[in-house]
Structures are given as structure tokens and as C-alpha cells.
Amino acid sequence: MKPGRILLAGAALLAGFAVAWTATRTNAPSGAPAASAAGADAADPLAALEQASRDNPQDSGAWRALGAGYFDAGRFDDAARAYERASELAPDQPAVWSALGEARVMASRQEPVPASALQAFRKAAALDAKDPRARYFLAVSKDLTGDHQGAIADWLALLGDTPPGAPWEADLRRTIEQVGKIHKIEVASRIAAVKQPAAPAGQGASAMTTAPDMPVVAQGIPGPSPMDLKAAAAIPPSQQREMAEGMVARLEGKLRANPANPDGWLMLIRSRVTLGQSDKAAQALKDGVAANPGVAARLRQEAAVLGVK
């Protein structure tokens, strides 16, 4: 595996990088287990998810939640196997296929976007051309194979479907800017020309990122950009750490300025756990609860999935 791959992937993921799932409450698998509830009732939330899949072997939601749990724990091979089973049981769910593709990306020890991951992303896109995770990674694949113009065009199209203020918006713009800069492609005017949709009435950006059958801390958001992948292989480990911590610090700064963002606090908690900063993760939970007392129980339940009490 390339140096710094997991560190950078985790930090970018948890800092709200790139795009979130499009799963909604109307297309979620029926009977899907509530992973946050399992986390609250069991000493080992992952064991609870494993038991749920054994108790309900024909329930795609159980396997999907287990895949998310494995992914969250960094067990990407196991996550891929769980999502493979979920895709067999629910082959018409694009979010399952794009989650499978991402798990295969993270499990790969050689190719940044292996053929098996591309196959899953293409399946997701065939089922739902708007699936944001599939679109993001298919564009990453274009960039990595030399089609930088095509990748930028696809990311710009994705930006055009991204509501203003969405957690991933700023980082998606940054990806476009960085790839443009690397390959001397003018993007500033093209970014400025993008017309973004308004958020659905009554929903903030964070509400649009939440899949109903698993906690925010276990949901998949595409990880490192092409820039991150290339940088990880080229810089010393100490600088890799600095890069990751810088992304997390920026997320924390945004939350200090606008603390009424439960999903943002959960991302910060998970990023601190990824960096091995358990004390700071616990403090983030405390701060998130203080700023959002109305959802304190949810914050504590989802933090418990990560082992943060």
C-alpha cells in the first residue's frame, strides 16, 4: 500500500471531503438495523452488527450496516465482502454498489482504483446516474489514467448538483482547483460559471448526507483526491501527518465558528479516532453535545460505535 494511504484517506474522509451518499428515507432497505442503537446496547457495536447479519442473513440492510461497520474499523477487505453480500441481496440499490466500490478502493494494495472497484462504480452509475460517490470515483479514475480534462468536467458537473453549503462543497472545489493547477488547466472561470441547486426546503446540507440505516460515523464518503493519492506517495511520513492534521484542524475551526452541526462533530470525532487522538475525540464529543443538547443521545450513541464514551 502506498505510504500514508490510510492516514490521508481517513483524514480526508472525516473532514467532510468530496461527496456523500444519496440514500434517502424513501429508498432505504426495509428492516435495516439501526447501527446507532446497536452501538448503544452492546459493548462491542461491531459484534452486534455481525450478529445482526447472522440473525438476518437475507436482509441486505444488515449486510450493508455490517459493511459500514467494517469500513469504519479500517477492515476494508471485510467491508467489501459484506457489501458484496448486500449487493447480491439488493442488486437494484446504487448506494450499495458505490459503497462496494469504495471498499474495494480502500482494500487495494496496488491500484488506487482497481478494476473491481470501477466495475462496482459503473454498476451504481447505471442504476443512478446521479450517485455522487460513483461519479466522484469514476472521475478520479479518469484523472489517474491521464484524462485530466474529462475528470475536471465530471467534477464540475458534480459540483453543479451540489447544494451550496454542503459539507463536501469546499473540498470538491479544492480538488478541481488543484488538479487544474497541476496540469495547467484553467478552471477558475468554469467553477464560477457553475449553477448549483438550492437545498431542499426544510433540509440543511448535513441532513442530505445521512443514510437512514446506519450512523453518520459509519457512512462512506469518498476518500482521498488524486492530489492526496499522489502526495501521499511523495512526501515524508512526518509531512503526511501534518497534512492530515491540517485537514482535521480546518474542520474543527469550522465547527468552532458554526457549532450547530451534529454531523460535523461526528466527522471530527471520527477523524480524531483515526489519528489516534482518543482524548481529543472525547473532547469533541463533549463539545458537540454542549453545542447540540437536543441530539445529545444520538451523538453519544454514534460516538460509541467508534469506542468513544
Lowest mean pLDDT among 32-46, 100-114, 155-169: 32-46
**Amino acid letter, residue 104:** R
CB 226 within 8 A of CB 151: yes
Q: Could you report the per-residue pLDDT of 36-93, keeping only the tens digit for each? A: 333 334 457 788 889 889 998 998 888 988 888 888 777 889 999 999 999 999 999 9
CATH topology of domain 5-22+34-305: 1.25.40
At residue 207, what are phi and psi to the nearest 5 degrees? -65, -30
CB 13 within 8 A of CB 265: no
Convert 42-58 into a string of H (helix), E (strand) and C (coil).
Answer: CCCHHHHHHHHHHHCCC
DSSP state of 199: P
**Mean pLDDT of the chain, nearest integer:** 74
Q: What's the pLDDT band for 190 if we cut at 50, 70, 90? A: very high
Q: Report helix, strand or coil for 51.
A: helix
pTM of the model: 0.59
CB 138 within 8 A of CB 121: yes
Quick check: 32 pLDDT over 70?
Answer: no
Q: Of 52, 71, 67, nearest to 223 (Cα)?
A: 71
Residue 31 burial (CB < 10 Å; 0-12/13-18/19+)? Answer: exposed
pLDDT score recorded for residue 24: 25
Quick check: 231 pLDDT over 80?
Answer: no
Q: Report helix, strand or coil for 123.
A: helix
Lowest mean pLDDT among 30-44, 87-101, 281-295: 30-44
> CA 291, 163, 229 angle in degrees (round to 5)?
85
> Which range among 25-29, 37-41, 233-237, 257-261 has the greatest average pLDDT?
257-261
